[in-house]
A and B are shown apart, each in its own frame.
Chain A
Amino acid sequence: MGRRTPLYDQHVALGARTVDFGGWDMPVNYGSQIEEHHSVRRDAGMFDVSHMCVVDLHGASTRAFLSRLVANDVGKLRVAGKALYSCMLDDTGGVIDDLIVYFLREDWFRVVVNAGTRDGDLAWMRARSAEWNLAVTITERTDLAMIAVQGPQARTKAAALLESAARESALAMEPFFGREFPATDGASWFVARTGYTGEDGFEIVLPNAAAVPAWRALIAAGVAPCGLGARDTLRLEAGMNLYGNDMDTTRHPLESGLAWTVAFEPATRDFVGRKALEAIRAQGGAASKLVGLVLEDRGVLRGHQAVIVPGTDLRGEVTSGTYSPTLERSIAFARVPRQTTDKVLVDIRGKHLPARVVKLPFVRNGRILIDL
């Protein structure tokens, strides 16, 4: 038996098929993964993401600490509530984890990290804090659950659970911000306009004891429970990486489609991994790149399938692949040699099937963004 979130019994009662995910027993679907996917693209769906790890960083040195710890620049965070997506790198530029940092107060930042990497992340953070002599109180918030409500109708439906006076300001909150709001249950919820689906929505961090009533109220409000299966197809369509599939400690952001998350300016900011990434840039850049693929034949792209650049010895590999319910064909991310242009072949059980290289994302806010 794996670890269980406060919502585990709800998932079982809803008929979920559960799987092990990073040591946690999590719902993969509650029936049809494809219907769950469509409910997020067209209306509102929700995911129990309580397995993810909320870490609060307190202390006057927190900004200085994060400025060295992560590859994106927390100096961009000047307005309370603003969020920043970043990688946390090791000295070789390898990705220890990807995370979101919320700036709450000058002495309080909140970081949300992946479930499977939480223990290593916490140990890394504590070791760097000691090494740099930057005192930061690092608190793993195991007292909190998290529900992601996503889709074009998600915010409206979720805001109904907030105190009436708070609803308007919650709905007026800009994308990539998060703030505390009073909920109708009397507790204070941290509500962020962030997500992992390519749709608008809220990620709600709330006390463990509040999770079950909130989940039930969201169902009553017409929000469809969705499993990790739909979460994966949604994030792939949205062009969002999954840690462990699309990048890990053996891969750096510049070959993982994440160069946009590395802030080389200001040049004086000495973040972990900077020297390694600068050396790669000095040599003319990364030898490979992460691209989107659309399969032009019947079949399904899957992680670890070989990618062939036609007429060359160049090879790459699919890092994440699936069937896209929105596009009704198979899509993938693949790490390919940087010389790769617009056409490749993918080895699916010995057959070489044609695939087209496309610009990510495939889908955003319900709209297909690539040519079919």
Chain B
Amino acid sequence: MSQVLPDLRYAKSHEWVRTLPDGTLEVGITDHAQGALGDLVFVELPEVGRVLEAGAACAVVESVKAASDVYSPIGGTVLAVNEALAATPELINQDCYGAGWMMRVQPAAGAGADLLGADAYAAELAAVGG
């Protein structure tokens, strides 16, 4: 059973969003997503300053098996990306909710209204057998 943290919000496309004390958002992919992808060997992150549209592809994660798009769970502007992932993409496998974070985002007004809470996301996973 995949781990779902109670204090995060989630997109159905298996990204998580953490609200930081200054109101900016941290984004990564969920335990279910990293487990399904397998060993990650390459991560392509957006450029700092890029304006993200909710639901649009914003990054690529590549496992040994395949390349997969990561969809931005919220609209906003990229403030920072996790530079450590360039050399150690396996951080996402090892600690997807911590050291494997992908980017920090200044949310657009009203961003994130349609994200799921932990219980709702866990129910989504249960429905797909994950």
Contact = CB atoms under 8 A, between A and B. Distances in A.
Interface residues of A, number: 17
B38 A229 contact: yes
Contact of B86 (A33, A298, A300, A322): A298
A34 interface: yes
B115 to A, nearest CB: 27
Interface string A298-329: 11101000000000000000000011010000
A150 interface: no
A34 B39 contact: yes
A28 B65 contact: yes
A233 interface: yes
Contacts of B67: 300, 302
B62 to A, nearest CB: 5
A33 B42 contact: no
Nearest to A300: B62
A135 B74 CA distance: 68
B5 interface: no
Contact of A33 (B36, B39, B44): B39
A29 B86 CA distance: 24
A229 B65 contact: yes
B36, B39, B42, B63 — most chain A CB neighbours (10 Å)? B39
B99 interface: no
A325 B63 CA distance: 11
Nearest to A37: B64
Interface residues of B, number: 14
Contacts of B36: 17
A359 interface: no
B54 interface: no
A87 B62 CA distance: 33
Contacts of B60: 349
Contacts of B66: 302
A142 to B, nearest CB: 29
B102 interface: no
Contacts of A330: 41-42
A330 B42 CA distance: 10
Given A33-B65, A233-B64, A298 B42 contact: yes
Nearest to B86: A298
Contacts of A325: 64
A299 B38 contact: no
Nearest to A329: B41
Interface in B44-65: 44, 60, 62-65
Interface string A11-35: 0000001000000000011001110
Smallest CB-CB A-B distances: 7 pairs: A323-B41, A300-B62, A34-B39, A33-B64, A300-B42, A323-B64, A33-B39
29 contacts: A17-B36, A28-B65, A32-B38, A32-B39, A33-B38, A33-B39, A33-B63, A33-B64, A33-B65, A34-B39, A229-B38, A229-B64, A229-B65, A298-B42, A299-B44, A300-B41, A300-B42, A300-B62, A300-B67, A302-B66, A302-B67, A322-B64, A323-B41, A323-B42, A323-B62, A323-B64, A325-B64, A330-B41, A330-B42
Given A28-B65, A33-B38, A322-B64, 10 more contacts: A32-B39, A33-B64, A229-B64, A299-B44, A299-B62, A300-B67, A323-B41, A323-B42, A323-B62, A330-B41
Interface of B: 36, 38-39, 41-42, 44, 60, 62-67, 86
